[in-house]
Amino acid sequence: MELLNVSFSVSGVETNLFFPPLVAMVISFFTSMGGVSGAFLLLPFQMSVMNYTAPSVSGTNHVFNVTAIPSGVYRYIKEGRMAWPMTWVVIAGTLPGVFLGYYIRVLYLPDPRAFKFFVGCVLLYIGIRLVKDLTVKSKDAVNSLEEKFITQTEKTRTGQNTTLVSGIPADAVVRTISVSLKKVEYEFWGERFSFSTIGMFSLAAVVGIIGGVYGIGGGAIIAPFCVAVFRLPVYTIAGAALMGTFITSLAGAVFFTVIPSSGGISAMPDWPLGILFGAGGFAGVYLGARAQKFVPQRFIKIMLSIVIISVAARYILQFF
């Protein structure tokens, strides 16, 4: 209906009032299961479908994250699946990158064509790592966790004569075992997992710069790396990745708003549009966080791999 059409002065976008939140809700429902808000897919959607290609689209993505993520974080905290030591390491590493990423985006990547190519390369690398993780089988705690999930599912179906999946039990929560500058170790559902504190911080620092440029807070890259490189279960890293994205995006949104234009190019976020996207994302992230424990890890990885590689291929090919 034309009466429901709205115009946004900063971005120049004109669209139906319900279109942005509906798109954001669908995207974030699926991506939030993997610890990703969905901003990494909303950015190409805004650029390609809404023709919003100005540098301020990155800041608008930060606004989306700030609005959408709290509901999912709340859900992961409530269910005891928030790995707090990991959360603080990720925040400490990615936060400085937001500020550096701002200047890179405005000064060196103002051309939408070049920016799309950059986005495509980042997404392609993430997708390759996820696919590699899916094809390589190893005997470790992650695979043991997946076997437990399958076993519990079969028991539920057999015992109750139903097709409903029981998923992760309510008493399976993240328990921190030890924290040091060298290593963080925690337990989840009877399995122990650990990661190098310095390694995670270093990764987060590099990803923070990329996330600052891309307008995603870094979580969309941190989450797949935690799964594919550090071999951590998606059930335990999703909450930490979302919380890290929220904090860095909050800083990014403020920074993009208060810093004046550089070289005549404005990076001021379109706050009304970002909040509208965020309203749908708020519902999608919450529902995704709630549904995650009923979905096998392998399905989440496959879903993210297909979407990420498809978008990456499109953006890289159009550059040439």
Residue 230 above 80 pLDDT? yes
Higher pLDDT, 47 or 304: 47
pLDDT of residue 206: 80
Rg (CA), the chain: 19
pLDDT of residue 121: 86
Helix (H) or strand (E) holding 96: helix 84-108
Q: What is the distance of C-alpha 150 from the center of its chain?
A: 26
| Angle value at C-alpha 149, between 179 and 166, nearest 5 degrees | 115
Task: For residues 83 and 22, give the distance between their C-alpha atoms in angstroms, rounded to a whole number.
Answer: 30
Task: For residues 234 and 239, give the distance between their C-alpha atoms in angstroms, rounded to a whole number.
Answer: 9
pLDDT of residue 164: 45
Q: What is the mean pLDDT of residues 214-242?
A: 82
Sequence spans of domains, the chain: 17-160+179-319
pLDDT of residue 201: 92
Q: What is the mean pLDDT of residues 125-143?
A: 76
Task: For residues 315 and 293, give the distance between their C-alpha atoms in angstroms, rounded to a whole number.
Answer: 32
Residue 258 above 90 pLDDT? no
Residue 317 above 90 pLDDT? no
Q: How confident is the model at residue 157 (pLDDT cuts 50, 70, 90)?
A: low
pLDDT of residue 215: 59
**Range list of β-strands (E), the chain:** 5-7, 14-16, 175-179, 183-188, 191-196
The residue whose two tokens read 């279960």 is 233
Higher pLDDT, 43 or 83: 83
Q: Which amino acid is at 54?
A: A
Residue 163 above 50 pLDDT? no
How many residues are present in the chain? 320
pLDDT of residue 85: 93
Query: What average pLDDT does the structure give for the chain?
Result: 83
Most confident of 56-65, 76-85, 103-112: 76-85
